[in-house]
Structure 1
């Protein structure tokens, strides 16, 4: 009998999903599955719940939420033999989309029942893990503003992007990777493990979750019309035609902003403030087993 533990974020996707233990029991018959369910009630609560669930040695822990919930659950499964399952009910759902895991509860639970898995790479920024992407510069400010809005929708993301474009001032940034050092003022420093950010948009459409590499997109300071062109390139997934952006493959990178004391950063679509002006980003090859 397979033991599956579900961590559900009840407010993901505007809280409109109907995922609960009663509903899940319809998809996982008692004669074949033992299921347990916990609900996360605040940021980082899923981490506590997952660590507690691990003590009971389930076959799989399923994150029911958006990229933030998935990050909290998956981060606890590194260096364990427990598989990650995903039922995507968030706003952006970038990682689930990259893995072709549908939003439909019927189809997502069918994938979990079949139990086909693959190993994906895991990114690490200082002491925190990421599975989709991290970003400093304007990307972090966009997420900070986006999280402050009551509604998390695509239009909210566009609104946050426009406001951030007006407000953000590029900062001097020193990047060390692949035996080279770049010292420049940057608008975007974006490092991705996945080919999608969410809402179907991408800065790294050729990124792979299992190639052992991270994809870096570096965009320098731009004037107004160039920012408009960049925005349209992202919306219509034509970023590779935006020649001002630099694209690099790497396994690790050091980023320093010498004019700052603390660094704002987004990790898998969640805002963080690091009490340092330097971050180290690296790759763990095949670090997580996930049901797909």
Structure 2
């Protein structure tokens, strides 16, 4: 049953996506007024946003806080909500929108707004990587490099990501990883290593099929180095939820993990779309069902 949500905050990233934010604010305000809700707005600036938003939320009794933007905005709002009773809502406006897709949230703005009065509240797990928050997917290796170059560039959209990936593939040298979990220890070379709370990247690549965001565990998904001739078949499996059917893939399920790269003190990691340089080893811990999210009614 949907909870009655009257007081809403919309956190906007002014530069995310192509939508006119002034027009969007008008649409949101009119929609909320028509349904007897109040709407307030808070804009990110890129400077101490987490601290400022956390302080703002501490003094305001919002029922739900909507992240209006891409993966970075969703990550920001999700982390800020951990110390509140408010529920996370998402209006997808970014290039990937990975978490919203995994949760089945409509990608159309008007349809996503309907979750204000027609929704199910779902409690999902969250992760910490050396203390850094993640609600969706993080990885080391090739994809982390591509995400870093994508974020440093001026062009957005799937096409830009693909161009960078193609340009970097030929020169990329896979890393060796040592992975210690509460279940097993593994040393292996990998093209990329994904720490997966969810199952699908914003690009619709299914890296962790049949996983759940509320199962109290996460997966470490490994893609081994592969010859160029194997790329089409591997990509096909990644886009058709057949990750486990490839000779170049492996998954580990766990509740805690430590990841190191022998000979390195730091590693580039993308965390929910944000590239970070983290000290090694990286300790990954899970907080079961620690974030409440508005999702479509099931059934």
Q: Considering the TM-score relative to the shorter chain, is it more than 0.5?
A: yes
**TM-score normalised by length of structure 1:** 0.92
| Structure 1: gaps spanning 5 or more residues | none
Paired residue secondary structure (2:52): helix
Which whole-Å CA distance do the structure 2 matches of 1:96 and 1:56 have between them?
25
Flag the 1:237–1:179 CA change in 2: closer, same or farther, 3 A.
Answer: closer
Flag the 1:223–1:43 CA change in 2: closer, same or farther, 3 A.
Answer: farther
Flag the 1:129–1:272 CA change in 2: closer, same or farther, 3 A.
Answer: same
Structure 1 equivalent of residue 118 of structure 2? 114
Choose which of 169, 174, 196 in structure 2 pairs with 1:170.
174
Which whole-Å CA distance do the structure 2 matches of 1:241 and 1:43 have between them?
44
Which whole-Å CA distance do the structure 2 matches of 1:38 and 1:97 have between them?
24
Matched, 1:33 2:64: no
Structure 1 equivalent of residue 75 of structure 2? 71
Structure 1 equivalent of residue 280 of structure 2? 277
1:44 shift after superposition = 5.5
| Deviation readout 1:166-221 (Å, 9 max, x if unpaired) | 23212221100134221222211111111211132221121211111112211233
Q: Which moved more, 1:74-83 or 1:63-72?
A: 74-83
Structure 1 equivalent of residue 157 of structure 2? 153
Matched, 1:244 2:248: yes
Measured on the aligned residues, the alpha-carbon RMSD in Å equals: 2.1
Which whole-Å CA distance do the structure 2 matches of 1:115 and 1:236 have between them?
28
Structure 1 equivalent of residue 223 of structure 2? 219
Q: Which moved more, 1:110-119 or 1:182-191?
A: 110-119
Flag the 1:84–1:173 CA change in 2: closer, same or farther, 3 A.
Answer: same
Which whole-Å CA distance do the structure 2 matches of 1:141 and 1:75 have between them?
24
Structure 1 equivalent of residue 135 of structure 2? 131
Paired residue secondary structure (2:155): coil
| Deviation readout 1:122-175 (Å, 9 max, x if unpaired) | 111111111111101112101112212322211112122222322321222110
**TM-score normalised by length of structure 2:** 0.90
Choose which of 252, 268, 288 in structure 1 pairs with 2:291.
288
Number of residue pairs matched by the alignment: 291
Flag the 1:211–1:43 CA change in 2: closer, same or farther, 3 A.
Answer: farther
Flag the 1:109–1:268 CA change in 2: closer, same or farther, 3 A.
Answer: same
Paired residue secondary structure (1:246): strand
- Tell me if structure 2 keeps the 8 A contact 1:5–1:53: no
Which whole-Å CA distance do the structure 2 matches of 1:291 and 1:222 have between them?
39
Choose which of 11, 16, 36 in structure 2 pairs with 1:12.
16
Structure 2 equivalent of residue 196 of structure 1? 200
Structure 1 equivalent of residue 59 of structure 2? 55
Matched, 1:206 2:210: yes
Paired residue secondary structure (2:94): coil
Which whole-Å CA distance do the structure 2 matches of 1:131 and 1:44 have between them?
20
Flag the 1:16–1:195 CA change in 2: closer, same or farther, 3 A.
Answer: farther
Choose which of 267, 270, 295 in structure 2 pairs with 1:266.
270
Q: Give 4+ residue runs of structure 1 displaced > 6 Å after superposition.
A: none
